[in-house]
């Protein structure tokens, strides 16, 4: 008869138990210069995740502007002031992201290429128009997507 030896599970770290508290504790340790006490692995992981979120946000805003420009171009008879405001707000978010994170300024061309298929699918869904109405390749340049004076005409 064999008896299984149970291995105790490791205690959960503050990072695992209370992420919010871990953030503030880590910031406090940094300010005090107590670097040896910092959970460097999780700090590095969180910093990388922050960078990914910035990139994702840029792509998301690019997708939203592109969607709205497609709708503006292919359903101009339905344009409302709220559409203009939405495009304006999304462009403002893009500009803010690029200002706060200048290293992302090389990203918009790739972002537009990545975002267009989803923006096109959303345009089909939101307008009820057939997929063939919208070009397979993005009809807008990055400059047009970012240009506060361009409205998809």
Would you list the domain boundaries of the chain?
16-26+37-146
- 98: which 2 tokens? 């690029």
Residue keyed to tokens 């460097």 = 40
pTM, full prediction:
0.80
Contact 72, 83 (CB under 8 A): yes
How far apart are the C-alpha atoms of 133 and 41, rounded to whole Å? 49
Has residue 41 got a pLDDT over 90? yes
Has residue 138 got a pLDDT over 70? yes
């Amino acid at each position: 008869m064999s008896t299984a030896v149970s291995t105790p599970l490791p205690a959960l770290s503050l990072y695992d138990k209370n992420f919010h508290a871990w953030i503030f504790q880590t910031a406090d340790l940094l300010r005090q210069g107590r670097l040896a006490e910092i959970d460097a692995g999780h700090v590095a992981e969180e910093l990388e995740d922050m960078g990914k979120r910035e990139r994702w946000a840029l792509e998301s805003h690019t997708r939203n502007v592109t969607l709205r420009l497609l709708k503006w171009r292919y359903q101009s008879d339905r344009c409302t002031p709220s559409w203009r405001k939405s495009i304006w707000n999304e462009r403002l978010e893009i500009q803010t992201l690029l200002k706060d994170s200048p290293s992302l300024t090389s990203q918009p061309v790739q972002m537009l290429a990545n975002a267009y298929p989803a923006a096109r699918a959303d345009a089909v869904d939101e307008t009820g128009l057939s997929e063939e109405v919208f070009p397979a390749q993005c009809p807008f340049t990055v400059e047009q997507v970012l240009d506060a004076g361009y409205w998809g005409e």
